[in-house]
Chain A
Amino acid sequence: MAVSVRGEPVIRVAGVGKAFTLHTQGGATIEVLRDAALEVRAGECVALTGVSGAGKSTLMRMIWGNYRAETGSIRVGGVELAGAEPRAVLAVRARTLGYVSQFLRVIPRVPALEVVAEPLRALGTDPEAARARAAALLARLNIPRPLWALSPTTFSGGEQQRVNIARGFVHPFPALLLDEPTASLDGANRDTVLALIEEARDRGAAILGIFHDAAARDRVCTRAVDVGAFAPARGVPA
């Protein structure tokens, strides 16, 4: 499953900058990141740290590809994603890169079991095998069985978060992005999620995460990258 391209880190960000131009607000330009660089190798779990607004989520979204990199290079599994065609990004998302965002976005009536199985179905996995794997994860994440047939749009925040996590872990992605994976979870569920992260790391996944929960971060992460180092110079008022 590993996609390590001889010696290249699974995730490699170099010289990446990001500015937003807000046309609906007088064309103001806000520069968020400049010359961002990081590498995540197989078997590493790297924490993105920095104060609120430093650009942690922005950097993570640029790697996922829903934010565009203005400058620089973002490579995942040896594929350049900055400026790539949609189909190239989609192929990397299907096979190589998993993402657990803070929000679950699904079609309202689709059952939780199918939502979790979907990444496997998209890869052509047999429907029954995909559902079995999804069921095992939902059980482990303590989602009551009667809920599996229901749409997660009706679930509590913590339950939705766990469905989102199950979806992110259902395929053994070589690279994983985790945005606050334990944010709305209580003790036992938090522990399960951290164990899932440790198992993914130990099987050789390259993981990049944002964790406000310092104890969680210390438990699963092998090192940290401070996004504050990529702050644009603030000498001149924007």
Chain B
Amino acid sequence: MSAPILQVRGLTKRYGARIGCAEVGFDLWPGEVMGVVGESGSGKSTLLACLSGHLAPDAGSVVWRRRDGAPVETLALPERDRRALMRSDWAFVHQNPRDGLRMGVTAGGNIGERLMARGARHYGAIRAAAADWLARVEIDPGRIDEAPRAFSGGMQQRLQIARALVTAPRLVFMDEPTGGLDVSVQARLLDLLRGLVRDLGLSAIVVTHDLAVVRLLAQRLMVMKDGRVVEAGLTDQVLDDPRHAYTQLLVSSVLQV
């Protein structure tokens, strides 16, 4: 617990003359969940893509702390090592389950595949792990041989989370994990994610435009506008006592129910 799990400095990505994200820096500590909010085009998805290695930034540094405590500059990793990281210690949860699942493969296969990519070979153990994870994300393990296209949107999202977490990653990137789901399904997913984060000691970076989601899921918050971080701090501090004009606008624009 004595060192950040991720140290980001000066992360910058340009699309020609346009700024994707600029000069983003933060430390993420073990067990922390950080939310990133901002409107469409604020750069939050670009930031997530640069952090997770899906997009090559133009400048900056993303230092990952390995299990043995050694720091690794992920932006300088050979492609093979970066892929290995994404298969084991890192995981990505996409907004659309179709981007994170293989729709033609069974639910059990979707989970087992990630274990096999990491070297698991024992069929019985893989299937048992898949069944265990289906139960943990509240999917009836009896449906292990069904393809995800037979599942509802909320179930597909939970299956994607099971697939992501089965390798016991230490850092999870989430892009609008509750986007596109019914409100009641969202609540269930939030509760599930919160329990998993607490019980597994996960660190996570969650990009969303939903302030209610970050309030319940993230302890820390970064607010982005035009590619830059305009405000950052404790989630309840940023939402209850916003300082930047844009954050104040964002918070005051939420419809009350």
Interface residues of A (CB under 8 A from B): 20-24, 61, 65-68, 86-87, 89-90, 105-110, 121-122
Contacts and interface: CB of A to CB of B under 8 A. Distances in A.
9 contacts: A66-B241, A67-B240, A68-B233, A68-B237, A68-B243, A86-B233, A87-B29, A107-B194, A122-B198
Contact of B234 (A22, A90, A108): A90
A90 B237 CA distance: 12
Given A65-B237, A86-B234, A87-B29, A109 B245 contact: no
B128 to A, nearest CB: 23
Given A66-B241, A105-B216, 14 more contacts: A20-B241, A23-B248, A61-B240, A61-B241, A65-B237, A66-B234, A66-B240, A86-B32, A86-B233, A87-B32, A107-B194, A107-B216, A109-B188, A121-B198
Interface in B52-89: none
Contacts of A106: 216
Nearest to A110: B191
Interface of B: 29, 32, 184, 187-188, 190-191, 194, 198, 215-216, 219-220, 233-234, 236-237, 240-241, 243-245, 248-249, 252
A65 B237 CA distance: 7
Contacts of A65: 234, 236-237
B9 to A, nearest CB: 16
A66 B187 contact: no
A110 to B, nearest CB: 5
Contacts of B184: 108-109
Given A86-B219, A90-B219, A121-B198, A24 B249 contact: yes
B123 to A, nearest CB: 32
A165 B243 CA distance: 30
Contact of B237 (A21, A24, A66, A87): A66
Contacts of A61: 240-241
A7 B69 CA distance: 39
A168 to B, nearest CB: 16
Nearest to B199: A121
A238 B32 CA distance: 41
Q: Which 6 A-B pairs have the closest CB atoms?
A: A23-B245, A66-B236, A108-B187, A66-B240, A67-B241, A86-B234
B193 to A, nearest CB: 10
B181 to A, nearest CB: 13
A112 to B, nearest CB: 13
A109 B187 contact: yes
A21 B243 contact: yes
Given A86-B219, A86-B233, A107-B216, A68 B188 contact: no
B199 to A, nearest CB: 9
